[in-house]
Amino acid sequence: MKGHYAVLISDQQEAKRFMEDIGASPAGVEYMAPKGVWRCIKLRHIPDRAANIIKQEMLSKGGEAAVAKEALMSQGTHDVLVMGTLRQFQRLTEKLRRQPFGLKVVSQDIETILANLEKTQWTVQLPYGCSLELGARTKIMGIVNVTPDSFSDGGRFFNADQAVEHALEMAADGADIIDIGGASSRPGSQMVDEDEELARIIPVLERLAGEKLILSIDTCRAGVAEAALRAGAHIINDIGGLELDQEMAGVVCRWQAGLVLMHNRLQIRADQDYGNFVDDVIMELQQAFDRAQAGGIGQDRVIIDPGIGFGKTTAQNFTLLKRLHDFRSLGQPILVGASRKGFIGRTLDLEVGRRVEGSLAAAVMAVVNGASIVRVHDVMETKLAVRMADEMRSADG
Yes or no: say if 86 and 114 are a contact pair by the CB < 8 Å rule.
yes
**CB-based contacts of 23, cutoff 8 Å, min separation 6:** none
For 38, list phi and psi in degrees, rounded to 5: -100, 135
Burial class (CB in 10 A: 0-12, 13-18, 19+), 8: exposed
What are the distances in angstroms from CA 207 to CA 36, 132, 293?
A: 53, 21, 32
The half-sphere exposure of 49 on its side-chain side, counting CA atoms within 13 A, is: 6
Yes or no: say if 33 and 10 are a contact pair by the CB < 8 Å rule.
no
User: Taking the CB of residue 190, how many other CB atoms lie within 10 A of it?
Assistant: 7
C-alpha span between 332 and 146 (Å, rounded): 29
**CB-based contacts of 375, cutoff 8 Å, min separation 6:** 141, 143, 179, 305, 335, 336, 337, 339
C-alpha span between 200 and 133 (Å, rounded): 29
The phi-psi region of residue 110 (left if phi > 0; otherwise alpha if psi is between -120 and 50; otherwise beta) is: alpha
Catalytic residue numbers? 341, 375
C-alpha span between 319 and 143 (Å, rounded): 24
Helix (H, G, I), strand (E, B) or coil at 323: coil
